[in-house]
Amino acid sequence: METGFEGRVVLVTGAASGIGRATAEAFGARGARVACTDIRTDQLAETVGAIEKSGGEAMAMALDVADSAAATAAVERCAEQWGGLHILANVAGVLKLDHAHQLSDEDWNRVLGINLGGTFFMSRAAIPHLLEHAGCIVNVASLAGLKGQAYGAAYCASKAGVVALTRVMAVEYAARGLRVNCVCPGGVDTPLISGFTPPDDFDPELVNRLSLVPKMTAPAEVAESIVYLASPAAGSINGVALPIDFGTHAS
């Protein structure tokens, strides 16, 4: 087993699949104790099982991050069981694409509530514990938080909000030893992408403009970036929105 996070307690949201699962497993492989949260409990158990099979320590907690009280309860349970919290990885998210003039209130509120609200609720609950250990937060934003994406009114707004929230917290708590960064992936080979349905009468060219190459990033690559930003090797990195997109942001 690789090492580097022994004695560290990490809480990962959205850990049932995709980037969240890859992140939880990456921290577990490096000796961290990993609290894995998601609303999909069956798949969450698979993540915990994989970490334990490789010799790591993990626990599962069912959690809807959009529920403020539940987010606080999950953080408190993790800190109580393992004596603190050192790293929070906010990965949970949903995707909904639609024409802006056809986007429903329900879809707008759901996307903003999970992607942005959930990131805030988890961070707010975790910060007092993280300050005790000079800890860090790594959020998963998106390339859609840096560039406009057609049909992504709710998704882009939520992820741009995550980028801004990351920078606000990074500045606010820098002097107290808490670092806050985020990653901004482009297309990632996850169920979130493979399961989405484009809106009616969408223009493929408007969607494809967000990719310079016909490739998808592997969840494990994003996870490794999250692990790096949470590591002592990144001790001077704070307030960064790191694109992982084959250079698309630069075009």
Q: Domain residue spans in the chain?
A: 9-244
Give the model's pLDDT for residue 187.
84
Q: What pLDDT digit, counting tens, does each position of 37-61 carry? A: 999 999 999 999 999 999 999 999 9
Give the model's pLDDT for residue 1.
43
Q: How far apart are CA 232 and CA 94, in angstroms?
A: 30
- Considering the chain, what percentage of its residues have pLDDT values greater than 90? 82
Q: How far apart are CA 122 and CA 109, in angstroms?
A: 18
Give the model's pLDDT for residue 213.
77
Q: pLDDT-derived band of residue 2, with 50, 70 and 90 as boundaries?
A: very low
Q: For residue 79, what are its two tokens? A: 């800190």
Q: What pTM does this model have?
A: 0.94
Task: Give the residue-averaged pLDDT of 22-39.
Answer: 98
Q: What pLDDT digit, counting tens, does each position of 111-129 carry? A: 999 999 999 999 999 999 9
> Is domain 9-244 given the CATH code 3.40.50.720 in the classification?
yes
Give the model's pLDDT for residue 192.
62
Task: Give the residue-averaged pLDDT of 196-219.
Answer: 80
Task: Give the residue-averaged pLDDT of 138-151.
Answer: 94
The residue with greater pLDDT, 210 or 94, is 94
Task: Give the residue-averaged pLDDT of 88-98.
Answer: 96
228 has catalytic annotation: no
Whole-number average pLDDT of the chain = 93
Q: For residue 83, what are its two tokens? A: 């004596």
Give the model's pLDDT for residue 195.
58
Lowest mean pLDDT across 169-173, 191-195, 222-226: 191-195
Q: Which of 151, 155, 173, 228 is catalytic?
A: 155
Q: What pLDDT digit, counting tens, does each position of 220-236 carry? A: 999 999 999 999 999 99
Give the model's pLDDT for residue 3.
60
Task: Give the residue-averaged pLDDT of 181-202.
Answer: 80
